[in-house]
Homo-oligomer: A and B are copies of this chain.
Amino acid sequence: MTLRKTFSIGLWSALLLFLVSCKQEPNIDKKVPASTVSENLIGYVNPMVGTKNMGHTYPGPSTPFGMVQLSPETNNQPYAKSGRYNRRTYEYCSGYQYADSTIFGFSHTHFSGTGHSDLGDLLVMPTVGELKLDPGISEIPNSGYHSKFSHAKEEATPGYYKVQLDDYNVQAELTASDRVGFHQYTFPKSENSHIILDLISNIYHHKDKNVWTFVRVENDSLITGYRQTNGWARTRKVFFAMQFSKPFHSYGHKKYDSQLYGGFYRRFNEEENFPEMAGKNIRAYFNFKTDDNEKIKVKMALSSVSTAGALKNMEAEIPHWHFEQTKKETQEKWNKELSKITVDTQTLAQKQTFYTALYHTMLGPIVYEDVDGKYRGLDQNIHESEGFKNYTIFSLWDTYRALHPLFNIIQPQRNNDMIKSMLAHHDESVHKMLPIWSHYANENWCMIGYHSVSVIADAVAKGTTDIDVSRAYEASKNTSTVGYFDGIDSYMAQGYVPEDKSSSSVSKTLEFAYDDWSIAQIAKKAGNQDAYDHYMERSENYKNVFDPEINYMRPKLSDGTWRKEFDPIDTHGQGFIEGNAWNYGLYVPHDIDQMISMMGGKKEFPNYLDKIFTTEIEDRYIAQNEDITRDGIIGNYVHGNEPGHHIPYLYNWTDSPWKTQGRVRMIMDTMYSNKEDGLCGNDDAGQMSAWYIFSSLGFYPVLPGSDEYAIGSPMVKEATVRLENGKTFSVKTTNQSKENVYIQKVELNGKELNTSVLKHSDISNGGTLIFHLGKEPNKAWGK
């Protein structure tokens, strides 16, 4: 999902780049080794994937689902003269662009792959020589504290990042535990070494983003404080404790506020060696004398609760100064998580692409509580998680589709905690709503639908949650009846969102209808038949925005007439968001047969689908559109955005399941790679990567909330999924090759499987799924 203008790079360049051979990784043999649990799987992960163009991933270290994402900023993000955010803000959603050659420092919070930006908290930068407190600009060397760097002297693996800061001859190494960023800087000999803490630096920066900063120099090697921002999250607080391995000999700060407290200034030299700093815009520095190759380490612990909480987190997680130990522990965590799926692939590049995708599915949602279970709630009060671990960053319009279903296979316990976090969010919400886009004790209201209900329904359907289903139903009901949210009042009264009342009305109606189906499933499980009936009825609302005259979903007005102006190819202002009528109009995952029949029946439908993949979209739709780039499209099919992620699997509901097999293999081959530009659009908090993981294994959750997967065609030669219940589910193939993408036969636990449907129990009970593949389609299979 993207919200801002992207660079448009042609499909051909993407294909070309794909053909370029993989970057040599010194510790990886070109021959693909057989996968074992003890394997060093992190070696297959290239955290640089997605850092070129608009993948919006970051290369720095984090633990799986960790609260700290410590990563370099390759551009300063000053706000524009108008006070609004800079026009390049979108480009720097996650702080890092591979094309850059400057580093401005290392900050501790980053979204992975989102289409909107925020965070970038607590930027730390080591420098040597004359103290420069201004960041300067990339284009002018030595214009500030930033430094040149090159990819030749840079290394990124899960849990570890290293770079040489050429301007200062400082080597920076980073690792992280769940709540603590760990820096190791190797300085040259100097009387003038500095570590800068820039509390102004921000991602999604605007004039009033910084609300307040508070810093205390507790002693000669410990700092505490917090920053409060008004960014994408309207009211967000990050508390910290920052410890240095070596005492600084002096320190100071500069405040960039127009309004100063005069009285204070008369009494002290507040700017130098004065241990209290507070204001809207502050940059602090800490001075050291360093010997040649002297290492100064910095630990930065975060908390949503308080500086006391941050200190507690530091003491609990990294009570020592052994950088290598933390790095090792974090990398072991990654190996453990990655080994939940071991794969054998045809090429090393595929294996790297696969594990990088798997890595990207575990960078969000993130843990959002202190080691003692305390966290800041949506009501800004401090809560304590009881019986669960609290998570934040739910980019649900993206992630309900495949990421949470993937969690139900390889992270069911975490997913259960996430659902409980959603219910806590509901309880803390003044609207009594489940999260739409939950972000550090804030609700962003980003994108449409109320998809927490889908995540809950999916876990309920798959038996992976122990929540009180009645409570979950009540929360879902509350959420779906908040009249002032996104046209729900009209939706409830008229059965659709009228475009004149609320824009993107067709997309909203379709997503609401699907969500209502999800709520019906929860109601059913809760034994509430009336509610089930009611929500099943609501789930048919998609029919109200289908215009049989033109055979498209179409925006309807409140008077019941169709809006006259309508272009089914245009993505903007046509009643859809991040998709056009061709693509998004197919979003009825809970009633596909009925939708197909409405659209002309099983026979016609494959042609409609074919046209999506083959009709070249005109440039004017690209040019005027910020949500579609040439990178992420095949014909008129947009893989870079989510509403079409189920489309290649829809052939399964026709007489041509073989076409699904061809399409998904094509998408995997062309839309993903192991290179920096290996993502064709924002990774969208892991949804793009989760699509790849599922499709690689040969199936996909077209209807989250059901216990069924649609079968595609696996990319892997072989895969083993290790479940938390101790069982394993294996995917095997015969005749696997780039060309042999078509299913000849499928066997499940030795029995032939003739439908294109896989049940969740087939996975969770353990077993083996064998795909017999061939160059030519077996058009009879799976009909």
Contacts and interface: CB of A to CB of B under 8 A. Distances in A.
Interface stretch (A256-264, A354-362, A769-777): A256-264
Interface stretch (A42-50, A96-104, A265-273, A558-566): A265-273
B485 A380 contact: no
A269 B489 CA distance: 13
A283 to B, nearest CB: 18
A757 interface: no
A230 B208 contact: no
A257 to B, nearest CB: 7
Nearest to A280: B208
Interface string A220-247: 0000101010101011000000000000
B275 A206 contact: no
A380 B226 contact: yes
A611 interface: no
Given A212-B235, A278-B235, A430 B218 contact: yes
Contacts of A430: 216-218, 275-276
Nearest to A436: B267
Interface in A252-311: 257-259, 261, 263-264, 266-269, 273-276, 278-280, 306-308
A322 interface: no
Given A268-B485, A430-B218, A485-B268, A208 B306 contact: no
A30 interface: no
B214 A308 contact: no
A280 to B, nearest CB: 7
Contacts of A214: 235, 380
A379 interface: yes
Contacts of A206: 259
A445 interface: yes
Contacts of A212: 211-212, 228, 230, 235
Nearest to A209: B259
Contacts of A224: 379
B307 A381 contact: yes
Contacts of A278: 230, 234-235
Nearest to A261: B234
A382 interface: yes
A10 interface: no
A431 interface: yes
Contacts of A267: 445, 485-486
Given A307-B380, A379-B307, A230 B216 contact: no
A431 B274 CA distance: 9
B259 A83 contact: yes
Interface string A193-226: 0000000000000111001101011100000101
A444 interface: yes
A44 B352 CA distance: 86
Given A235-B278, A261-B234, A431-B275, A211 B208 contact: no
A728 to B, nearest CB: 44
Contact of A274 (B208, B275, B484, B503): B484
A306 B382 contact: yes
A316 interface: no
A446 interface: yes
Contacts of A275: 430-431
Most buried by B among A207, A232, A263, A266: A263
Contacts of A280: 208, 211, 230
Contacts of A445: 263-264, 267-268
Contacts of A261: 230, 232, 234
Interface string A373-387: 000000111100000
10 closest residue pairs by CB, A with B: A208-B259, A216-B430, A308-B381, A275-B430, A306-B381, A234-B278, A211-B212, A267-B445, A235-B278, A214-B235
23 contacts: A84-B259, A207-B258, A207-B259, A208-B257, A208-B280, A211-B280, A212-B230, A214-B235, A216-B379, A217-B430, A218-B430, A226-B380, A232-B263, A234-B261, A234-B278, A263-B445, A264-B445, A268-B445, A268-B485, A273-B484, A276-B431, A307-B380, A308-B381
Interface of A: 83-84, 206-208, 211-212, 214, 216-218, 224, 226, 228, 230, 232, 234-235, 257-259, 261, 263-264, 266-269, 273-276, 278-280, 306-308, 379-382, 430-431, 444-446, 484-486, 503
